[in-house]
């Protein structure tokens, strides 16, 4: 299968579906899961400094035997490293941990603190060839309006919580002006059984001979959202990729759009979120 791609506003083309590694332990589990994903046909792997598994992702990529330029690799800068100089060091450290010469995409993970300083370091790293594309994550309209006008370069993507119950209409409108693409974390609602058993979704699954997750991922893909479902189970890793042999009709897409509740599980604007995240852990504890 040739993996469909989505063109970013910087001209790079990102695989439309990838493999997420959030909360997969760095005890060999990440190496095994990423190896399985690459063997299955994924060519887009998403990790982060704060996932503590960059090294295993890098090792799985190296051991896959697949040419480096055939795999899109994303990592993210943790807010402990925001600011110009800390971000410069963090970018080099991620490359070192992963054993890579460059990253295809690097994101501001949690947008609090000296975001503009971090962004300048990312722009320089992009110009130096260390990062191909740069973007942000967890930006609400409020946070977007605070920081993005200070950037010399528009983000290529904003990675946010997105699923049929939370379709992020407000931030998508802001992003559309600069052709900034949306990446979804938690594209399956983080296992929300109410979502997976929603009658609209289960009826479509029956019609197309698919499971609920495949219908959800196809809906998101047809909206132009970049998705990277996560699993450590080989059969689920395979089925999550098997979404390109059916197409939802315009009427079915409209029914899915109506499922939006306009609210997610994570609110980046909530009081205390910055402090909670900053104190959650030390990403350099084992450096």
Q: Among all residues, which ones are annotated catalytic?
A: 51
Task: Find the farthest-apart pair of alpha carbons in the chain and give their distance in angstroms, rounded.
Answer: 54
DSSP state of 16: S
CA angle centred on 84, ends 78 and 85, rounded to 5°: 90
**Count of CB atoms situated within 10 Å of the CB of 38:** 20
Residue 114: Cβ within 10 Å count: 15
DSSP 3-state of 226? strand
Please give the Cα distance from 24 to 57 (Å, whole number): 11
User: What is the Cα–Cα distance from 285 to 42, expressed in whole angstroms?
Assistant: 31
Please tell me the distance from the alpha carbon of residue 8 to that of residue 2, in angstroms, as a whole number: 18
Q: Are 146 and 138 in contact (CB under 8 A)?
A: no
Q: How is residue 189 annotated by DSSP?
A: G
Backbone angles phi, psi at 77, to 5 degrees: -90, 125
Q: Would you call 99 helix, strand, or coil by DSSP?
A: coil
Structure tokens at 166: 């939370």
Task: Name residue 184's beta-bridge partners.
Answer: 160, 227
């Amino acid at each position: 299968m040739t993996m469909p791609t989505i063109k970013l506003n910087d001209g790079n083309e990102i695989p439309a579906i990838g493999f997420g590694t959030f909360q997969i332990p760095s005890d060999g589990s990440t190496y095994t899961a990423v190896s399985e994903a690459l063997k299955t046909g994924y060519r887009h792997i998403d990790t982060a400094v704060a996932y503590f598994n960059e090294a295993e992702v890098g090792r799985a990529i190296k051991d896959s035997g697949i040419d480096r330029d055939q795999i899109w690799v994303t990592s993210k800068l943790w807010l402990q490293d925001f600011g110009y100089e800390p971000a410069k060091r963090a970018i080099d450290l991620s490359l070192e941990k992963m054993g890579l010469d460059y990253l295809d995409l690097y994101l501001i993970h949690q947008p609090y603190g000296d975001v503009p300083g971090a962004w300048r370091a990312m722009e320089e790293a992009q110009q130096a060839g260390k990062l191909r594309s740069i973007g942000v994550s967890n930006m609400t309209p409020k946070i977007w309006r605070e920081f993005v006008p200070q950037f010399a370069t528009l983000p290529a993507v904003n990675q946010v919580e997105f699923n049929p119950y939370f379709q992020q209409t407000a931030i998508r409108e802001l992003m559309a002006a600069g052709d900034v693409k949306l990446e979804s974390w938690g594209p399956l609602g983080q296992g929300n059984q109410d979502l997976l058993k929603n009658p609209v979704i289960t009826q479509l699954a029956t019609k197309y001979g698919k499971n609920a997750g495949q219908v959800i991922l196809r809906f998101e893909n047809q909206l132009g959202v970049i998705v990277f479902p996560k699993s450590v189970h080989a059969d689920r890793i395979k089925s999550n990729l098997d979404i390109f042999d059916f197409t939802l009709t315009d009427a079915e897409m409209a029914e899915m759009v109506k499922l939006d509740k306009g609210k997610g599980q994570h609110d980046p604007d909530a009081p205390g979120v910055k402090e909670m995240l900053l104190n959650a852990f030390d990403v350099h504890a084992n450096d």
